[in-house]
Amino acid sequence: MRGQRVAIITGAGSAHGIGFAAARLLGAGGCRVVITSTTDRIFERVAELRAAGVRAEGVVADLTDPAGVAAVVARTWGSFGGVDILVNNAGMTSVSGSYASGTVDTLSLDGWRASLDRNLTTTFLMTRAVAGPMQAAGYGRIVNVSSVSGPVAAYGGDVAYHAAKAGVVGLTRATAIDMAAAGITVNAVAPGWIDTSSASDYERVLGAATPVGRSGTADEVAHAIAFLADDGASYITGQLITVDGANSISEERGR
């Protein structure tokens, strides 16, 4: 990757999450990074990046709100003068709020809308905010963090999350077509069972049952993100890379 690229990575507040792992890896590769979360813990992550020699800024923002998106963009332009890479990782739960889930007959309309806003609208708003500048520059890498849940598989009791993450893949493909001629690639990664700080013991048991025999790590997902964000990935766009230890293709579950 050419040095001094500027990357925005959303949802990077957790020290052990995919967003911060991606920020560390991109920063180690020479990128200047702007990271976001919904709470002040993002400044702890900024301090860690700076201690490692990465030029980093942090923004506390609610990315379901266009004003929060504008704040992230303003900080990025004010600090680094533009953006080359966007990693849309914000979603799932946040430490500042509750997470509503349910089946199609039990989930409230408010819960449905909240999940779609958190997991899909954030990606739309951030992508929309950088699309014009990237097209004007003739360069861009957008990597969306989806999930195996929705695009390729499902579990019970969370229809909105599955719908939103499937929507991220649809948004990825449509945006890839729209922006391809401008030199911008748009791809997605679909993590499976990843052992982050938010993973439950039950999820770790399921990770141990994958063909690889363990859950994945945030760093392993980050390497897929960094590959798609690299200058050399210029002819890969509109694609979904599944990072799940072959779990979604195994026909011998429970053996």
Residues with a known catalytic role: 161
**Contact (CB, 8 A) for 133 and 86:** no
Beta bridge partners of 177: none
CB 34 within 8 A of CB 79: yes
Cβ–Cβ under 8 Å, residues 141 and 87: no
Q: Is 173 exposed, middle or buried (0-12, 13-18, 19+ CB in 10 A)?
A: middle
Residues in the chain: 255
Instruction: Tokens for 70, please give them.
Output: 């504008």
Contact 118, 92 (CB under 8 A): yes
- The DSSP code for 15 is T
Q: Are 26 and 9 in contact (CB under 8 A)?
A: yes
CB neighbour list of residue 224: distance below 8 Å, 6 or more residues apart: 189, 241, 243
SS3 118: helix
Q: Residues with Cβ < 8 Å from 138, sequence gap 6 or more?
A: 182, 183
Tally Cβ neighbours within 10 Å of residue 96: 12
